[in-house]
Every structure is written in C-alpha cells, then in structure tokens.
Amino acid sequence: MTLAGLDAAETPVGVVHLARARRNVERAAAYCRRHGIGWRPHVKTHKSLEMARLQIECGAVGLTVATPHEAEVMASATDDILLAHPPAHPSKIARLCALPAAADVKVGLDSREVLQPLCKAGAATGRTFGILVEFDAGAGRTGVVEVEDAIRLAEAADSLPGGRFDGLMFYPGIRVPRSEQPEALARLTDRLHTFLGALDQAGHPARIVSGGSTPTMWDSHLVPGLTEVRPGTCIYNDRDIVGMGAAAPDDIAYSVLATVISVAVPGQAVVDAGSKAISRELLGSGAPGLGVLLDRPDVTIRAVNEEHGMLDLARTDWRPSVGDRVRILPNHVCVSVNLQDHLWGFEREGGPLRRIALEARGRSARA
C-alpha cells in the first residue's frame, strides 16, 4: 500500500526515511567488516521483517531478539538467532523448541533455573540450544557477577543434553559521551578478560563473545576478544544517540508525524501524539523534553498525556495553526516504534509513502 505523501497519512504515525536507514545499516556493516567483528543487530528497534532482511543482505551474521514472538517472525529472515533475554517460563521455552529445525538458536542466560528446563525441553524435542552465559559488565541489570558462577553454568551447558556452551554475552551499559568511552571500555575489557581467562583454564573456551550497543558501537574494536556486537538502535538512531555522540542529526531516520490540534493556551501548541506514540522517556543527559521537532529543535515536547503532546513554544517565534503537520524526533526510537501499528517509509523528502509492516510487534504466537 502506498500514499501520495506525508499529507495523506493519518496521524500520529511513525515515518522512516528509508534511504537514511539503508545508509545506517551499510555503515554499521562496513564498520564490523573492517574490524573483523560480527554484526548481530537487535530487532527490538525496528520490529520489521523488511528491515531485518536489509540487515542480513548487508552482512549481518544473524539477528538478536528479545521475545519468542520476535524469534518466530525473524526465523524467516535468518537461521541464526540469539534470544538475549532469559526465557524463564515453560511457554516461552516451548515456543523456542517449536522454531524451525534448521534454525541455530542461541540463548543468553545467567541461571540454572533457566538453563536446566531449557536444555531438558531441547533434548526432548531433538534441539540443541547454544548457551551464552551472560555476565554483568556494569549495567547492574542481568548477568552473573562472579567468575565461578559463569564457570558452573558453562560446565552445566556442556554436560546437559540439549545444551551447548557457546560463549559469553554482556550488555555494556555505558551511557556517556563517546569522548569518555575509551576509559570505560578499558575497564570492561579487563573484566571480560578475567571471565575469558577463567573459562579457558576451566576447559570451557568461549567461541562467541557477544556484546556491544549503539552508544558503544563505533568503539567496539577497543575491546579485544569481542567477536560480535548487537546494536539495534543504529538503524534509525534517535535524540538520545545523537546526544551521546554516536550519531549525527542527519543519521536519524525515524520521526513521528503529528498534527496540531490546539493552540488555545498561550505559549504552547498541542499535537495528537502523546504517550501512546512517543513515550515518556527522559534523556540521561538531562536535556529537556520528551522529544523535539525535526525542523525546529528549539521546540521541545514539554509533556504528554495519552493522546496529547504539548509543544513548548517559549524559545521560538514560530506560531503554528490547527491542522499544521509536524515531525517529532523522540528521545528513544525503540519504544516509539513499538507503539505503532505500522510505519510509513519514504525514499526522499516529499516522496510517496510505502507501508512498513511491524510483524514482530507484540508477544502473541503467530497465527
């Protein structure tokens, strides 16, 4: 389905500059090739088979997913999938076991409570899951803290039918300007090598070392031993990523098209994109607003309700009228995409729109 242009689209809706997205994908793939690192992008950002296939075509070694539904959808784009989220419920494990037999499914985890039922179910269905033991690299989210725990999980993965220890996984959790990243990455490298050395000594060398995120994407080569990275946001980028210096403003490929619905209150305008279109995430840098206008960065989204977004006009002489169209750059693109039913894509500004399906959105099993 196509539309004549942005004026024909009903708002609020996410729109993608496809030429920019393609350029971002090609840049990421080229960087990884140049440094001998595998690129396994996380699909949580785009949720789209079309975008996943573009990433695979440009050189991605496989895909990273967070949910069984994403795995089910993306199995038609690649046979190399990493679930980077522990499947701590029997129904999730059952869905992983039901993936196509040709798929090499890897799972990141940090506990025997997930490992044992996963391997048991795999053995019962004739599947062997590759296991990436996650360690906490400083994010304080998931991952074992002690080296001994990583060794025990690696030993269990190699001894249990249905399991195979493949290596380590980590999330850097580094959210500082790029100029400050080398020091933080050096500390991460020291911690990583402590785990790798201990696993080698215990007889369980890590074939895969999976890390990386969009904020640290372009300095991944500073982490010796890293074999692949999983950045997802870099396909579209957002205000947050630009603020950390990991992308330039013209690398942003995603915005939310909205319509001005009220100018009744002095000093503000209200658009039809609220928390159900752009979310309420604030920037870690402390910069104001929940987003800015694409062509007027001095206009921020001051606040949102479910269906209302309040534009702060205090720093601009622009005075919109009801019915005007604006494009919002959200702070965090991944959340915004997940709030859409579909996206509209265009190759050039002012050009026709093409519908982009979000097949991996939601959590339901495929019909």
18-35 vs 49-57: helix axis angle to the nearest 10? Answer: 40
What's 249-357's CATH class?
Answer: mainly beta
Q: Are strands 268-271 and 309-312 parallel, antiparallel or unpaired?
A: antiparallel
Please tell me the predicted confidence (pLDDT) of residue 364: 80
Domain 18-235 and domain 249-357 have a common topology: no
For position 89, what pLDDT does the model report? Answer: 97
**DSSP code of 103?**
-
Q: What is the pLDDT of residue 367?
A: 39
What's the residue count for the chain? 367
DSSP string covering 298-332, please? EEEEEEE-SS-EEEE-TT------TT-EEEEEES-
Predicted pLDDT of residue 3:
87
Distance CA 172, CA 225 (A): 14
Separation CA 111–CA 88 (nearest Å): 10
- The pLDDT assigned to 365 comes to 63
Q: Where are the domains of the chain?
A: 18-235, 249-357
Prediction pTM value:
0.96
Which H helix or E strand runs over 17? Answer: strand 13-17
Ranges of residues in the chain with a pLDDT under 70 are: 365-367
In angstroms, the Cα distances linking 267 to 263, 313, 315, 328 are: 8, 5, 9, 18
* pLDDT for 218: 96
DSSP 73: H
Closest CA to 288 of 275, 301, 277: 301
**Tokens representing 214?**
């969009």
Domain 18-235 in CATH: superfamily? Alanine racemase (3.20.20.10)
